[in-house]
Amino acid sequence: MGFAKLVDLMHHSYDRGIRFVELADLYGTHIYFREALREMKRDQLAILTKMWWRYDGPEDQVNLPERQQMAKTALERFHHELTTYPDIVLLHCLVKKGWDQQMGPYMDVLNDAKAKGQIKAVGCSCHNFEAMQTAATCPWVDVMLARINMKGGDKFMMDGTREQVEDVLRTARANGKAVIGMKIFGEGRLAEQRDACMQYAQGNGLLDAMTIGFHTPDQIDDVLRMMHKYPAKTLV
């Protein structure tokens, strides 16, 4: 899209009332949003980003103590790139059942940042059913980013059947987790059925928020019309 078009798209979303923004270190979106933020009121926003820990070394050595410094450096870089601390920081793309035992150095650093008031909430994005089950019961997790849509299954970018995922997210909500839905349109595979997808997402009572990727202002306006058409159901 180029720098100017992406920043303009972010401005359009803000002008239309969107106040929750999902970023990620892996996406390279921090510096784009920093520019857009110049025209926004920071205290109106909820900014989420995700920490891509895999670049720090072998995945079987994630629990080494030196990973703490890597996590601290990453968080300070986020602050520099955004000119503000994000509100929510997630561990990006967890795919193992025992991740809560593996990711201790990163979890400790994010806990410390939360205790200092630098960030408000911590959690994870999951791309595996067992990893999501772990997140639903892990006391450390404040926020879960979970793949959910009306179809379910691998074909539509989910970690289980719709019923299986719904059951895990009910457990998460019962344990006080905030739940953010992703892959609402099946990563584009359900774009032609997006009205029904939005009806499901708004009506399942499981999602505090959702993330949807956009390329054009018309796409933003279309999704907002659908959200207005299907008001969100009371959360379980």
Q: What is the pLDDT of residues 191-220, one digit of tens each?
A: 999 999 999 999 999 999 999 999 999 999
- In what helix (H) or strand (E) does residue 92 lie, and over which residues does it extend? strand 88-94
Q: What is the pLDDT of residue 94?
A: 98
DSSP-assigned beta bridge partners for residue 94? 126
Q: What is the pLDDT of residues 160-189, one digit of tens each?
A: 999 999 999 999 999 999 999 999 999 999
Closest CA to 220 of 21, 4, 23: 21
Give the mean pLDDT of 11-19: 98
Q: What is the pLDDT of residue 16?
A: 98
Q: What is the pLDDT of residues 113-150, one digit of tens each?
A: 999 999 999 999 999 999 999 999 999 999 999 999 99
Q: What are phi and psi of 22, to 5 degrees?
A: -105, 120
Q: What is the pLDDT of residue 235?
A: 94
**Contact (CB, 8 A) for 129 and 98:** no
Confidence of residue 20 (pLDDT cuts 50, 70, 90): very high
Q: What is the pLDDT of residues 30-66, one digit of tens each?
A: 999 999 999 999 999 999 999 999 999 999 999 999 9
Place of tokens 């499981």: 206
**Contact (CB, 8 A) for 151 and 162:** yes
Confidence of residue 1 (pLDDT cuts 50, 70, 90): confident
- pTM metric for this prediction: 0.96
Q: What are phi and psi of 8, to 5 degrees?
A: -60, -40
Q: What is the pLDDT of residue 230?
A: 98
Confidence of residue 98 (pLDDT cuts 50, 70, 90): very high
Closest CA to 32 of 68, 83, 97, 70: 83
What are the CA-CA distances from residue 155 to residues 93, 126, 151, 161 (Å)? 18, 17, 9, 10
H helices of 56-103, where? Answer: 67-82, 99-102
Q: Which residues contact 168 (CB under 8 A, 6 or more apart)?
A: 129, 132, 133, 136, 146, 160
| Centroid of chain to Cα 170 | 18
Q: Which residues contact 214 (CB under 8 A, 6 or more apart)?
A: 9, 13, 220, 223
